[in-house]
Amino acid sequence: MGIDIYMRWSLMTEADISAQYQGFDVTIGCVGYLREAYHGEPYATRELVPEAFDAGEPVNIPAATLRERLPKVMSTAMHRERQVYKNGDVNEDSPIVQSFVEFVTLAEKLEAKGHTILVEASY
């Protein structure tokens, strides 16, 4: 079990949706999907998109808000890797951390193209 975060946007294609279903891959933020397992706190996903947890349905979170939260989220993701998974080699360039960066970057690109962004938390 775990936390799944899905980004949805206007004019999303079947290929876009399909790309998000990759067997709970924690490194595919670039397609609008984030994953954290329930192995212990802290949870970076809850810091990045708290509204998605509170709403219980897809909610619009502006990309600028996601970008503003990103430094703390990255720090939390690294702390989680060290604390929960005993991964002392994690840094800002690690795939799990970059997945959050790529998720936010995708939101920015999509918004710049005029798409409406919705974020859904499944947990």
pLDDT in tens, 82-110: 999 999 999 999 999 999 999 999 999 99
Mean pLDDT of 2-31: 95
Please tell me the distance from the alpha carbon of residue 60 to that of residue 51, in angstroms, as a whole number.
9
pLDDT of residue 52: 97
- Give the DSSP H or E segment for 67: helix 63-83
Identify the band that residue 72 occupies on the pLDDT scale cut at 50, 70 and 90.
very high
Residue pair 26/39 in contact by the 8 Å Cβ criterion: no
- Domains detected in the chain: 2-122 (3.40.1760)
Which of left, alpha, beta for 44 (phi over 0: left; psi -120 to 50: alpha)?
A: alpha
Q: Which residues contact 100 (CB under 8 A, 6 or more apart)?
A: 29, 34, 44, 48, 70, 73, 74, 77
Angle at 36 between CA 17 and CA 8, to 5 degrees: 25
pLDDT of residue 61: 97
Say whether 40 sits in a helix, a strand or coil: coil
Over 90: is that where the pLDDT of 1 sits?
Answer: no
Q: Which two tokens stand for residue 90?
A: 């994690």
Identify the band that residue 36 occupies on the pLDDT scale cut at 50, 70 and 90.
very high
If you average pLDDT over every residue of the chain, what do you get?
Answer: 96
Please tell me the distance from the alpha carbon of residue 114 to that of residue 43, in angstroms, as a whole number.
30
Over 90: is that where the pLDDT of 56 sits?
Answer: no
Over 90: is that where the pLDDT of 14 sits?
Answer: yes
pLDDT of residue 23: 84
Mean pLDDT of 16-36: 95
